[in-house]
């Protein structure tokens, strides 16, 4: 089976725990993954430090790229990264993607994924949504992206914040087509 090449973008929406749990999960799936490229916005780093109280994003065994680095391989379709996950995805980043404003590596990488008809998963986070947010989600969906809101489920009876957040991350991992053991209803 072809190993996967995945871009993870972390933006400045609330919910750094989603990024942490996603990176933790991908680190455990190395038999299925050839490369994970990570790009974080400035606010993503700030929100991570504020919400999680650390800078642990520096310690993952992945390829990290500055958000201004258009020399990153996944800034071009030729590098054949097959999937991009944005977790959490701010409304600002969603808007830039929806309107093709490729002025940083995150919006450019998403633009590339969509034009190449590959898989884009945006874990959008805000509440409530304005009509602008909803229209941007519609545009990204029409362009082939998957809007996977950061809406946890509770039917697995999670007990901790991490267990609650993991319910979202497990769906994201499923959507990315990776095999991972996780809670499955009535299975
Ligand atoms: C603590 C904190 C929480 C935030 N939560 C959200 C959020 O849930 N959703 C959102 O769209 N923006 C949120 N923002 C605002 C974004 O960080 C801001 O709009 C930023 O410019 C988004 O740019 P980025 O996508 O490049 O990170 C938050 C900002 C802070 C400081």
User: What is the CATH classification number for the domain harbouring 108?
Assistant: 3.40.50.1950
Is 14 part of any domain?
yes
- 91 known ligand binder: yes
Q: What is the pLDDT of residues 52-104, one digit of tens each?
A: 999 999 999 999 999 999 999 999 999 999 999 999 999 999 999 999 999 99
Total number of domains constituting the chain? 1
Q: What is the pLDDT of residues 107-141, one digit of tens each?
A: 999 999 999 999 999 999 999 999 999 999 999 99
Q: Which of 51, 30, 117 is nearest to 81 (CA)?
A: 117
Is 90 part of any domain?
yes
83 within ligand 1 shell (Cβ under 6 A): no
Structural domain of residue 88, as residue ranges? 4-175
Q: How far apart are CA 92 and CA 109, in angstroms?
A: 15
The answer for residues whose C-beta is within 8 angstroms of residue 48's C-beta and 6 or more apart is 10, 16, 19, 20, 40, 54, 55, 56, 57
Q: Which of 57, 90, 104 to mutate to test the pocket of ligand 1 (most atoms within 8 A of CB)?
A: 90
């Amino acid at each position: 089976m072809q190993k996967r090449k995945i871009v993870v973008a972390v933006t400045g929406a609330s919910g750094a725990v989603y990024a942490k749990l996603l990176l933790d999960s991908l680190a455990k799936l190395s038999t299925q993954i050839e490369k994970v490229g990570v790009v974080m916005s400035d606010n993503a780093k700030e929100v991570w430090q504020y919400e999680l109280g650390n800078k642990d994003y520096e310690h993952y065994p992945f390829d990290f790229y500055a958000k201004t680095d258009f020399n990153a391989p996944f800034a071009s379709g030729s590098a054949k990264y097959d999937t991009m996950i944005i977790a959490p995805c701010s409304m600002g980043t969603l808007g830039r993607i929806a309107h093709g404003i490729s002025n940083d590596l995150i919006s450019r990488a998403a633009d590339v994924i969509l034009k190449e008809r590959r898989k884009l998963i945006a874990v959008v986070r805000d509440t409530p949504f304005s009509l602008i947010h909803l229209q941007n989600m519609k545009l990204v969906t029409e362009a082939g992206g998957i809007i996977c809101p950061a809406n946890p489920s509770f039917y697995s009876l999670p007990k901790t914040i991490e267990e609650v957040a993991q319910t979202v991350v497990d769906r994201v991992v499923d959507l990315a087509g990776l095999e991972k053991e996780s809670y499955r209803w009535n299975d």
